Structure 1
Amino acid sequence: MAGNVQDIRSKQTDSEKITINLGYVDLGHVDLLVREGFYSNRTDFIRTAIRNQIERHSDVVRQAVTRSSVDLGLRHFSREDLEAARDAGQVLEIRVLGLATIANDVTPELALATISSLTVLGALHASAAVKAALADRIK
């Protein structure tokens, strides 16, 4: 039985938790729509509303992504990736719209040696030490 136990905490999720404040009347409208069966819960309503707004502004988003030369989606930087960049004399300007992850075995020194700037529209997952080391390079 012990062989079937999995550590759920180590799994990365595909979403980021945010907090919003809504007025009581707006929240009441959301709850009404959930109760009437239009949405399964408040989260379903909020996700749908956000996706509708992103779709509504898709042309602007597409142009901004192209103009800014950002990577769209998930971008992972392993220790090996950064060591290869360092060994090739490359310095990275990282721009991600989505999720950027820097592996936990990346040292602050390696990050400083290889990352000149880091812009993430979405979420950045990295060790606290790497985030602290790159603090003045994160935009």
Structure 2
Amino acid sequence: MIKVSDTEKITINIGFVDLGQIDLLVQEGFYSNRTDFIRTAIRNQLSTHSEEVKQTLARKTLILGRQHYTRSNLEKVHSAGIKLEIQVLGLVSIAPDVPPELARATIKSIFVLGAFKATPQVKAALADRIHG
């Protein structure tokens, strides 16, 4: 089973002066560490732009949150002759027991703003259908 975390690790480059200011705020007790500062800054920006996010979600018909696809889900979709067009802002995960052939037979496209978790074989099988 793919272990799904509530967070995704990212790497950023930041100028020395900005980093020094963050360290000063941490040292003075405003934040517990650099990560706490960065998470708070990100949340503040997302809050500032929350209305724009809502409008864009509605316009693009994106699902907000997590979408997990199991072998059983995809077998039912395949039996029904349906092709999925997955559009998610958040996380899309495909169970590790899903064969690449089944994923290709049932998934027409994947558009993800966030993270996509699947086995390397499934990712390779869907490479031409993944956008985002």
Tell me the TM-score range normalised by the shorter chain. Answer: over 0.9
Give the drift of 1:103: 0.4
SS of the counterpart of 2:41? helix
| SS of alignment partner, residue 101 of structure 2 | helix
1:122 paired with 2:131, answer: no
In the aligned structure 2, how far is the partner of 1:77 from the partner of 1:135? 17
Identical aligned pairs, as a percentage?
62
Give RMSD over aligned pairs: 0.9
Paired residues for 1:1-139 under 5 Å: 11-139=3-131
For normalisation by structure 1, the TM-score amounts to 0.91
CA offsets, 1:77-134, max 9 Å, x none?
Answer: 0111111101011100001111110000011100000000001100011000000010
Secondary structure, counterpart of 2:65 in structure 1: strand
- C-alpha distance in 2, partners of 1:135/1:45? 35
Q: CA deviation at 1:12?
A: 2.9
Give CA deviations for 1:33-52 in whole Å, capped at 9, x if unaligned.
11111111000000110010
TM-score, with length taken from structure 2: 0.96
* Offset of residue 11 of structure 1: 4.3
Please list every run of 5 or more consecutive structure 2 residues that lacks an aligned counterpart in the other structure: none
DSSP-derived class of the 1:100 partner: strand
* Count of residues in Structure 1 that have an aligned counterpart in Structure 2: 130
Structure 1: 5+ residue stretches without partners: 1-9
